[in-house]
Structure 1
């Protein structure tokens, strides 16, 4: 009971609201100044999405995953399409594709598929060498990455020349 009396006195003795005086400051930069000029003058860093430099290793890793995904989708898509095709064999399916789809589109898909397969295979061999403990220094990573890119370009050129 004594604590309620003390608590009431404390609560009643404090003011319910207090006036707060807001101070104003003058800005050294006017609101009309260009945003980027202001940040450059203040030596603020630029956002990472503007100044980030992609690394060959990260691009190759992402590309390896995407080519694997695309090739898997192609294999599974072909299997599902074959499952739902009624009373047709593979030769009939190819014949119907050749008559309905333009040759330029067929050739583009063939080149993309062959290039993806070559890249994914070559980069897979690169990954297998890592499993055996080879090629982990920065210089070896970049050398093997550029080698994979070069061999992929050469295989794409060879495929284009062989199909003409």
Structure 2
């Protein structure tokens, strides 16, 4: 009993113990007898799907693109995801093609194929590869700086966004023109 005094639990433990037996029995009986005021009915699974479809039609949709002004921060984030997905799809596509037909997609055949293309197609292809690669690389560095707690103010976020766009443009041109 000493520990209950120290913790301040003495009165709260004694109260139910010394309550009249009639009161204790009524509380126990009230807790044992559960009254259901809601009636339920069993439905087939198709009816449940129909109910959910009706609820989804009445649910409001998010207006995000229709009401918000485009901002550099979320445009950069969307472009970063898109370029990452595109570069991943290209890498996986080429890797699977190499596994399926290694004689066709080895480096000598690819170099011979590219060498036979017109210069305009080569430059366009290099630009199409360089632009997402450079943007994703520079924007990835921007995100890493955010993870380190740098450039988190609105002004700094916009400044780094413009730096990423500028660096991507310059490096895309440099990579496109290099080697020819």
TM-score under structure 2 length normalisation:
0.57
- Asked whether 1:148 is paired with 2:156, we answer no
Give the CA deviation at 1:109: 1.9
Partner residue of 2:109? 92
| Greater relative contact order (Cα < 8 A, sep 6+) | 1
**Structure 2 unaligned blocks of 5 or more:** 1-62
CA RMSD of aligned residues (A): 2.3
Give the CA deviation at 1:49: 6.2
Count of matched residue positions in the alignment of Structure 1 and Structure 2:
117
1:72/1:138 CA distance change after superposition, 3 Å:
same
Partner residue of 1:55? 71
Question: Matches of 1:105 and 1:70 in 2, distance apart?
Answer: 20
Give the CA deviation at 1:94: 2.7
1:50/1:103 CA distance change after superposition, 3 Å:
same
1:57-84: CA deviations, max 9, x gaps?
A: 1110000001001110111111011111
**Structure 1 unaligned blocks of 5 or more:** 1-46
- Asked whether 1:134 is paired with 2:153, we answer no
Give the CA deviation at 1:52: 4.4
Partner residue of 1:82? 98
1:82-127: CA deviations, max 9, x gaps?
A: 111153532123313543x544333212112112111111000000
Question: Matches of 1:119 and 1:160 in 2, distance apart?
Answer: 14
